[in-house]
Amino acid sequence: MSLPIVILTHVVNRAVIDGFVPAARQLGHEVVLVTDQGQAHRERLADTRVLECDVFNPIAVLDLLTEQAIRPAAVFSNSDHLQTATAIVADALGLPTKPWQVCYRAKDKLRMRERLAELGLPSVWSRLLLPGEPAAADWPYPLVVKPSQGVASLDVSRVDTQTGLTALLAGRGTAPLLLEQYMAGPLFTLETLGDGRDLVAVGGFDVSLSAPPHFIETAAHWQGDISRAWQQTALEQVRAFGVGFGVCHSEFILTDTGPVLVEINYRSIGDGREFLLDELLPGGWFRPILQLHLGEPLPPLAPASRHAAIRYLVAESEGRLTVPPAPASRPGLSHVPLRRQGDRIRLSHSNKDYLGVLYLQADSAAALNTLQEQVEAELKWEIEA
């Protein structure tokens, strides 16, 4: 019998439950899930071995595997928070993995900016703001304020003045914050796979954002004009940063001087787009990622033959969801509801405000545009304060 694939995870995550666990089994491996939230995962994965420990501590994970006499075929995580610990565990066991130093620099946004500066790669002014430090007038406003150890758009805001920053800081906690000079321009992503020798661009999304001061992703178009035009330049930047193994999801702003990194998420793209890629790409998405961690070379990657987009249904007010989104069934459209009728909505100004996700696919760009227009014309929902 094949050795198991060990997956480290923190919170319950659909990509793990419905993506990577089934993919591991399709590859002929049992899964051992190691988490610090055992009960929540056992409720979702009754037929999977779930072990519990402090997954943020690589020594604790290694000790657990030793105590349980587990010899993994691969050690993998899709969590932003666990990439460094996972890399240390895999490296200690002599298994294929990402360099833990690169994982750490990618996760900590201040370290990422420092590393970009060291390498002479495009970047922007940034500064760590410690609790209690006042806002200065001579900083290059507008600024983007984010947790240095944050994830995606959660708790990310734009401030235009010293007064605005001071007001924002009054409502924040005691964690250090990263200040970055605001970059004007469209957002696009780069999705890469690598086996430690070759790194390839699978493609990218052109992304639409909500109005300032927040940065909620509202829609994404696979292989849009911007991501295709700047794919090679973006690939060269992440390769120079040190990305070379496994899956990586990077975000860029196309400024007047070219693409500048917003963040490197050294794991798979999320927010439902990983499932779209699993459908679109002839070789799928989840299986090739795990195969890299099993030591297999980068497989030939055929491009998607269809055009695709995602539309996120974002709540804009708080209250009770009385009429949830329910788009009519159409060829090429699928809807994943994330909230139910009667749910209480509390805004976080992040992807936690999504009511649902629409997946749209068509054989041509024109057909995709027509489908989008038809769906948009019918979309409605009601939230009662």
Percentage of the chain surpassing pLDDT 90? 88
pLDDT (tens digit, 9 = 90+) per residue, 120-136? 999 999 999 998 899 99
Average pLDDT, the chain: 95
Q: Is residue 205 within 8 Å of 294, Cβ to Cβ?
A: no
In which element (H, E) is residue 377 found? Answer: helix 365-378
The structural domains of the chain, with segments of one domain joined by +, span 5-97, 125-181, 187-384
The CATH H-level superfamily of 187-384 is ATP-grasp fold, B domain (3.30.470.20)
Residue 23 has pLDDT above 80, yes or no: yes
Residue 174 has pLDDT above 90, yes or no: no
Residue 9 has pLDDT above 70, yes or no: yes
The average pLDDT across 267-282 equals: 95
Angle (CA) 195-11-115 rounded to 5° is 45
Task: For 228-331, list the strands marked E by DSSP.
Answer: 245-255, 258-265, 307-314, 319-323
Can 125-181 and 187-384 be said to share one CATH topology? no
In which element (H, E) is residue 181 found? Answer: strand 177-181
Q: Is residue 129 within 8 Å of 113, Cβ to Cβ?
A: no
The strands making up 31-35's β-sheet, listed across from edge to edge, are: 49-52, 31-35, 5-9, 74-77
Distance CA 263, CA 227 (A): 16
pLDDT (tens digit, 9 = 90+) per residue, 214-243? 889 999 999 999 999 999 999 999 999 999
Question: Would you state the pLDDT for residue 150?
Answer: 64
Q: Is residue 271 within 8 Å of 78, Cβ to Cβ?
A: no
Token pair 């139910």: residue:
340
In this predicted model, which residue has the larger pLDDT, 373 or 148? 373
The average pLDDT across 344-350 equals: 92
Distance CA 61, CA 217 (A): 34
Percentage of the chain surpassing pLDDT 70? 98
Residue 307 has pLDDT above 70, yes or no: yes
Confidence of residue 175 (pLDDT cuts 50, 70, 90): confident
Question: Would you state the pLDDT for residue 153?
Answer: 60
- The CATH number of 125-181, from 1.10.520, 3.30.1490, 3.60.40, 3.30.310, is 3.30.1490
Which of the 8 DSSP states describes residue 292? Answer: H
pLDDT (tens digit, 9 = 90+) per residue, 47-81? 999 999 999 999 999 999 999 999 999 999 999 99
In CATH, the number for domain 5-97 is: 3.40.50.20
Distance CA 173, CA 52 (A): 30
Distance CA 122, CA 96 (A): 30
Torsion of CA 349, 355, 361, 365, to 10 degrees: -40
- 174 three-class SS: coil
Residue 326 has pLDDT above 60, yes or no: yes
Distance CA 270, CA 220 (A): 12
Question: Would you state the pLDDT for residue 213?
Answer: 87
Residue 152 has pLDDT above 60, yes or no: no
pTM: 0.94
pLDDT (tens digit, 9 = 90+) per residue, 357-375? 999 999 999 999 999 999 9
